[in-house]
Structure 1
Amino acid sequence: MVCVFSFFITSCEQNETIEAPQTTTKVAKKRLFKAAKAAVSKSKRTPSTSNNNHAAKRIASIDCFAYVFPITIKNGEEETVINSKEELADYYDAVEIGSEPEIVFPITIKLEDNSEETITNLEELDDVYDSCMGEETPCYTLNYPLSLVQEDFTTNTSNETVINSEIELHTFIDMAFDKDENAHITFKYPLELTLSDGSISTIENDDDFDAIDSYCYNYDDCEDYDEFDCFEVQFPIKANLNGEEITINSNDDLEEYISKLEDYTFPDFVFPIDIKYTDDTLVTLNSLEELEDAFDDCFYEEDDDTICFDITYPINLVKNEDTENTVTVNNDQEFDAYLDSLIEDDYLYIGYPLTVILQDGTKKTIADDDEFIALEESCDN
C-alpha cells in the first residue's frame, strides 16, 4: 500500500468513506462473508494518485468479467494469439510507438456468475464494460483515439500506444499494472473530453485534468490531512530517490520526499522502520507488508467490533466449484493466506456445513450461504 505514508501527510481523497483493501488476518471473517457470496478475488493494485498518472486514475478496479483465452490481437497485417493475461501484458509492453493493435472478434468473456458471453464487436465489449461501471452519468468522457505514454525510468525510455476505446484503455492499464506494480502511465496531451452537457473541452496538461477532476468529483486539496492518528513514524528513516539513499528527519522531510515522486509511482523506504502507537508502544516494522498490516489494523479496529461470532476450524474451501480444488484450512492465518493466493478470475466457495461460536459461547451450524449472510448481518443489530 503505497499510500500508507502519504495517507496521513499528503493524500488526495474524495469526500466519502475511504475503503482500504481487506488483507489482514484481523478481518479474515469479513472476507469469509465475501466468500459466502461467491465473490472473493484477490484485491487489484491501486494505481498511483500522483498528479502525473491521470491515465491510471481513470481506471477503476473492475472484476465483473474476464477474457476467455486464447484471443487474437491484430496490429496492421500481423496477428498474434494471446493465451493468458501475462502474455497480454507482455504484448502491450512491446507495442511500438504509433501502432494501433485491435482485438479480433468474436471473443468470449466470463461473467461473475461463471457464465460465458460471446462478444462480436468493440461496441458490445464497451457496453459490457460500461455496465460494470454502473449507470451513473459521468461528468465527462474521454474522446478517442488518444495516446498513452508508458515511461521506464530504469532505462530512461518511453513507449507510446494509441488507444481507440474505453475497453482498450482499461485493458492496457490493467495489464501494465499486472505486469509491473510500479508502472507509470500518462496521457499524451492535448486530448479532448466531452462534458456531460455535450460540450468539448481540450485538456492541455495535468493541471487542466486536476481542475476538471476537482470540479467533477470534489477532490480535497492535498494539505493538512491529519485525521490518521493511530501511530506515528519514528524519525529518522531512510528512503531511496533516483538511485540514492536519503535520510528523512521529519514529517516535512517526508512530505517533500513524496512530492518528488510524481514520476515514480511508488516510494521506496528502507526497512526496518519504528512506529509509535498512541499508547506509546513502540513497534519495529521490517517490510512494507508489515507496514500495510499495521495500517490496516488501525483502519479496521472499529469495524471488527461488528463481528459477533468465531469460525470453528477446520473448514473446507472450494475454488471455482471444482471439487478437485478443495482445500482445508485450519485457522485465520491459513484462510487469509489462501485468499491472497487467488488470482483475479478465481471464485471461492465455502464447503458447508460449518460451525460458528456465538458471543454467548453457543455453537451454531451454518448450512448454506443464506444462513451465513443472515448471521453476519445480525451482528449489526
Structure 2
Amino acid sequence: MLTAQTEQDSRIKASEAQRQQSYFCPSCREQVILKRGTRMIAHFAHRAHSTCRPFSESESQAHLVGKWQLAEYFGVSNVELEPYIQTLAQRPDLLLKRNDRQLAVEYQCSSIPISRLQQRNQGYSSYGLSVLWILGENYLQKMVSVRHAEKWLQYSERLGWYLIFWQTRQQCLIIWHHLSLDGVGNFRGWAKTSNGNQYNQQNQMSVKAIEKHIQRQIQYGLYYRIPKWLKLQQFCYEHHGLLQDIPAICYQFKDAEPLICESPIIWAALMTVSLAEKPVGSLIKQLDLEKWAAKISIYFEGAQLIQCTTQQLVDSWGRQLMQYVRLLVQHGCLKVLSKKSWQLVAIPH
C-alpha cells in the first residue's frame, strides 16, 4: 500500500510517514508496517498472516512504482490514491476524477484469473464506476495472440480494439490500437506512446508464408490425429470438401476481428465450404451467413472478451461477416443485390 490511516484517522502517504508513528490499514484497521529504504519505493505492508482481503495481495516494486507514476501522470490533484470502497470491500489503485466523473484505474502487473477479474469489474459496475485496466510492461511481450490478451481487450469507436500498458522505465503509456488478427491469428495494428511516438505493432506475413504455416498445421494435426483438426476435417467431408484444399481466396482474409483464438483463415475456409454447396446463381442473404457462422462456431475456441458489452460483440461479428462478404465481392464470387443480399456468381477457389 502507498497510503494508510493515522491514529487520527486521516490518510497519509508512505513517502510522508514517520517511522515512530503508528499507521493502520483503511480496510481491516490492523496496524501496518512502514517500509522505506534506498532500494524500494516507500510503502506500507501488513504483518505476516494478515487476513485482510482487499489489501492482502503482496505488491511488487514494479506495481508500487507504476501506480505512483500513474498518479503523477494523471495529475495528483485529479487522483485519489488507493481509495477503499467499503461497500465493495475493493480498492482501485487510483480513482480518477474529471468533469464530475469518476473512473477506477487498475494497474495490473501480475496474472489474475478471469473469474477474479469479472468479480472486480462487476463490483465497480454495481457502484456506478467504470474501470480502466492498465497492464504492466511485463505483459508487453506476452500479448502476441488473442489467447493471451482476450480478457484485457477493450473496444472503442476511436481506438478500435485496444490494450493499454504503462512502462515504468520510460514513464509513459503505450496504447496498442486498431488491433486485428493476421492470417495465423497473431495481432497486428498500431502502437502509440504518451510521449508522441507511433509505430506499426507487428509486421504482416506474406501470403505464401501464411499458406505454408497453415498447411503445416493441418498436416501435423491430421497426421497425429489431433481431435480439433479431425473435427474440422469431418466438417469439410460432410460439406463435400477437404480441409487441405483451402481456396486461395481465404488466404487473403486478413485484419480479422479478434473473436476467436484461432487462425481467421480456417474460419474463412469453413464459411467458404458452406457457401460452395450452393449452386451458382443462388441468392445469399445475410441471415444465411449468420447461420453458417453460428454453425461453425462450435469448431473454434471463442475469445472471452469480458471487457466488452454484448452489443459490441454483436457489432464485431457483423463487421467480420461483412469483411468476408467484401472479400468475395472483390474477387468476383458475389454480386451485390442489396445491403443484405447477394448473388453467388462464381464458386470461390
TM-score, normalized by the shorter chain, greater than 0.5? no
* Higher RCO (C-alpha under 8 Å, 6+ residues apart): 1
Q: Which has the larger radius of gyration?
A: 2
Is the helix fraction higher in 1 or 2?
Answer: 2
Smaller-chain TM-score bracket: under 0.3
TM-score w.r.t. length of structure 2 = 0.20
TM-score w.r.t. length of structure 1 = 0.19
